[in-house]
Amino acid sequence: MASFSLDDIRAAAERKYGSTDITFGDDTVRLLNPLRLPKAKREGLAKLQEEMCRDDVDQAESLSDAIRTIAESDKAAEKLLATVGGDLAILAEIFGHYGESTQAGEASASQG
């Protein structure tokens, strides 16, 4: 019979659904996997992702709002966004890396 401690399960969840960490200067912002977000933030993220598909949306603003939603710390998110300065290409790269890391976690979870 298999036996696991809650610490074992937490460690496995962190490996599969851990954060995407972005380091800039001496700071780091942790972008949480959607499965690790509270329900209200998950729903907010889904709404923002739907809005990003519309032609009339300010993409830089939408990506900034998404980063604010998924960041573990509001302060760290604001510092990152101030550093990026609204550069759409950098915001898209940040969100792209986030998307890749969350998909990799979800894919490995569905395989097991």
The pLDDT value recorded for residue 104 is 54
pTM: 0.82
Between vectors from CA 87 to CA 68 and to CA 57, what angle results, nearest 5°?
Answer: 65
pLDDT tens-digit series, residues 32-57: 999 999 999 999 999 998 998 888 99
Residue 110 has pLDDT above 90, yes or no: no
26-44 burial by CB neighbour count: b if 16+ within 10 A, else e?
eeebbbbbbebbeeebbeb
Chain-centroid distance, C-alpha 27: 17
Amino acid identity, position 95: F
